[in-house]
Amino acid sequence: MVSRLLLPTERRAIIGLAGLYASRMLGLFMVLPVLALYAEGLAGATPLLVGLALGGYGLTQALLQIPFGLLSDRIGRKVVISFGLLLFLLGSVVAAQADSIGGVIAGRCLQGSGAVAAAIMALVADQTREQVRTAAMATIGLSIGVAFAVAMVLGPLLASSFGLAGVFWFSAGLAALGLVVLWQLVPKAPKRVSRHRDVVLDRRQLKAMLGRSDLLRLDFSIFALHLVLMAIFVAVPFRLLEAGIAVEHHGSVYLAIMALAFVGMVPLVIVAEKKRRMKTVFLVAVASMAVCLMVLGFVSTWWALAALLLGFFTAFNLLEATLPSMISKLAPAGAKGTAMGVYSTSQFLGAFLGGVLGGTLAQHFGNDAVFYGCSLVALVWLVAIWGMPTPRHLASEVVALDEGTHGDALDTLMERFAEVAGVEDVLVVPEDRVVYLKVDRQRLDSDALARIARTRHDHKGA
């Protein structure tokens, strides 16, 4: 039986790359709760340009993440990641030294141009076996969630002590530290690079993924979620001030809200996954977000504001956790990487347009209009997903092939896997020597699956 325990090199790779991914996201998110407040000291600042500065990184991320991922296949993962970190560092320095809103926008766009998310995920796949890859990717996902929560707290603390420039200098330091981690902690990448269709985008599958209405609904969902997130941070910091909460205490407020939101999210994730109520929880979360955003437009007391922000971030954290899970369930065998590539691009476009929308509404109609506009987006989102079919609870499995498996043996192998109870979809990729499976774990005959794998290895040894 193949061990699912992490090897020392796998552990080093996962810890290093999860930290690298999280620190990069931390640098991008720290400015969200503070930029609108501190922009008054920047020449030429308007609400629209502040919104553009908040979301500008999303445009360059969306445009460059797929090209960077494909480039990493050609010239090496670490080289591309290093270049991306240098761009992120440069963007942080440009923003830190800026005395105008235009300089901050340029810096944020440069930060986003270091679009190495796909290359990092591909390197994680290069460094891990199929048996532990799901756990490795889950670790990356968890690190992103933690980074967002920490950013909401750390950004206000740094800004209150060192100003907006201090936030960007800290981001530059994170990028420099990331380069050290990449080259000193993360093991050397293997010479043979596989496609890892469960992780990275395959251009040949792109058209098929864009033609799937179920996946497009989820792409629109992450687009709308990050649009709303970016838009409200044009107005939320001012709403906290209006409620009598001083700037230096904003970090404490976000700390309490994010901690409680995480606690509130956990039982809902359990209901969605374990009780198989994914669609119901999904709809309730979007509807709750729409209501919270609408009421945020006219509340004035600090306790009402805190309660509504808690409701919003509980729904936000829940959706951030469950949307990738739904993509994984719906994507065909061997196509999860492509589906996630489209999903991530949608997320970054949402962040960019959210900044533009929030800034436009605040500039022309006031901060209240930001919340009303975002509530309308959430209602449109709710209508778009209302008729979606309930996602089947399928999981992905990857089985390694022997080097000598080819020809008729592949066809026979595919048939044998397809006959196993609980296996719903099979894709054999001979050039990468792997089989991608979609399985229903409640019905899966694990013993039969193990026997097929054991028979292949026994046959090779005979």
Q: What is the mean pLDDT of residues 393-409?
A: 67
More confident residue, 75 or 346: 346
- Give the integer Cα–Cα distance in Å for 194 and 76: 12
Distance CA 93, CA 39 (A): 17
Query: Which pLDDT score is estimated for 113?
Result: 94
pLDDT (mean) for 88-113: 96
Those residues whose C-beta lies under 8 Å from the C-beta of residue 204, and which sit 6 or more positions away, are: none
Q: What is the pLDDT of residue 405?
A: 52
Which pLDDT score, from 0 to 100, does residue 1 have?
Answer: 42
User: Is the predicted pLDDT of residue 408 greater than 80, yes or no?
Assistant: no
* Architecture of the structural domain at 1-185: Up-down Bundle (1.20)
- Tell me the percentage of the chain whose pLDDT exceeds 90: 55
Residue 133 has a pLDDT of 77
Please give the share of the chain, as a percent, with pLDDT higher than 70. 92
Q: What is the pLDDT of residue 454?
A: 60
* CA torsion through residues 79, 72, 167, 22, sign: negative
Mean pLDDT over each residue of the chain, to the nearest integer: 88
**Has residue 333 got a pLDDT over 50?**
yes
Q: Helix 130-184 vs helix 77-97: angle between axes, to the nearest 10 degrees?
A: 50
Which numeric CATH code is attached to 395-461? 3.30.70.100
Fill in the DSSP letter of residue 359.
H
Which strand ranges, in their side-by-side order, compose the sheet holding 395-400? Answer: 395-400, 434-439, 423-429
Domain 211-391 top-level CATH class: mainly alpha
Q: What is the CA radius of gyration of the chain?
A: 23
Signed CA dihedral, 116, 119, 121, 124: sign only? negative
Delimit the CATH 3.30.70.100 region(s) of the chain: 395-461
**Long-range contacts (CB closer than 8 Å, 24 or more residues apart) made by 422-428:** 423/449, 424/392, 424/394, 425/332, 425/333, 425/394, 426/333, 427/197, 427/332, 427/333, 427/334, 427/335, 428/401
CA 40/CA 334 separation, integer angstroms: 49
CA pair distance 300, 217, nearest whole angstrom: 35
Instruction: Compute CA distances 413 → 168, 177, 219, 304, 334, whole Å.
Output: 54, 46, 34, 60, 16
Kindly state the average pLDDT of the residues 353-366: 97
Q: What is the pLDDT of residues 256-270, one digit of tens each?
A: 999 999 999 999 999
What pLDDT was estimated at residue 124?
Answer: 86
Residue 250 pLDDT: 93
Question: Where in the chain do CATH 1.20.1250.20 domains reside?
Answer: 1-185, 211-391
Q: What digits encode the pLDDT tens for the residues 234-246?
A: 999 999 999 999 9
Average pLDDT over every residue of 13-35: 92
Place of tokens 């449109």: 380
169, 173, 178, 129: which is closest to 18 by C-alpha?
Answer: 178
- pLDDT tens-digit map of 187-245: 877 665 566 667 777 777 888 888 889 999 999 999 999 999 999 999 999 999 999 99
How far is Cα 436 from Cα 439, in angstroms, rounded to an integer? 10
- pLDDT surpasses 90 at 360: yes
pLDDT tens profile 104-149: 999 999 999 988 888 888 888 888 877 777 778 888 888 888 899 9
pTM of the model: 0.90
